[in-house]
Amino acid sequence: MTTIALPIALGIIMFGLGLSLTLADFARVVKQPKAVIIALACQLVLLPAICFGLVLAFQLPPVLAVGMMMLAASPGGTTANLYSHLFRGDIALNISLTAVNSVVAVVTLPLITNFAIAYFDPFDDQLGMQWAKAAEVFAVVLVPVALGMVVRRLWPAFSKRMDKPVRIASVIILVVVIGGAVASNWKLLVENFATLSIITTVFCVISLTVGYLVPRLFRIGRRQAIASSFEIGIHNATLAIVIALSVLGSTELSLPAAVYGVLMFFIAFGFGFLIRERKSDAAPDAAAEPESATTA
């Protein structure tokens, strides 16, 4: 299950992500560098630091602390694009951020995870994640995305037909993966559910808020800030769970991502109504911030 089925399942999700990307999505970053740089700084630097502070404040057991840090290091995904579309965010920016994050996560996810393992020592001095295992993260994350992009380039009609089935499969896989993680660690989950539900809720709300307010402080347009909020606030729980199970071989590490994976849908939906761009705000917002008008 953990060595074959889960990596394949995640590969399907990441392949589907690749089907939605083109090289132009990476090139678009040059057209709106300010929004991208701010969003990436929040996701790669600010959020892991905030998560580390939360873990210490909540005094989580070491294995769950590492699981939370791994969740914080996980990039956004296609779910962020869906929420951005629903609440009138800049989907083009979402896609660009997803494209960049898919590449950057190959480096940052092992880096932050190794730091957390070294600090919290959840494996009683047994060997945890090694730098060599970063190659496995590369295989799980980037290779399927690249293959999906190749398929889209060579067979665009096929990619378009497969978009909806792959999205449906991604949701089903997420539910199955979360269910499996919960079932295999039921006792540990029950013992820590109150703490995990609180810390994951707090972390999700902070992630969404940081993703929206920080760009606005730097005079980024509202639609771009909405896109940034969901990209930063909706972490790829499936990726964190699969890395915990298949790369690190620890089901306990997957519990924070499993709890987060359930709660984030409701939290993000409610948050979206608070920050969504209203028609009455669209015109003055566009006029005040000319940079955002070029990114829609």
The domains of the chain, with CATH numbers, are 5-293 (1.20.1530.20)
Rounded to 5°, angle at Cα 182 from 79 and 267: 35
Q: What is the pLDDT of residue 55?
A: 94
Rounded to 5°, angle at Cα 296 from 141 and 289: 115
What 8-state DSSP symbol labels residue 46? I
Q: What is the pLDDT of residue 213?
A: 95
- Judge whether 210 and 42 are in contact, CB under 8 Å: yes
- Judge whether 206 and 46 are in contact, CB under 8 Å: no
Q: What is the pLDDT of residue 284?
A: 47
What are the 10-residue block averages of pLDDT along the chain, 296 residues in total?
Answer: 58 72 69 85 92 93 91 80 79 77 80 87 55 59 77 80 73 68 67 84 94 92 90 84 75 84 86 74 46 38
Q: What is the pLDDT of residue 135?
A: 60
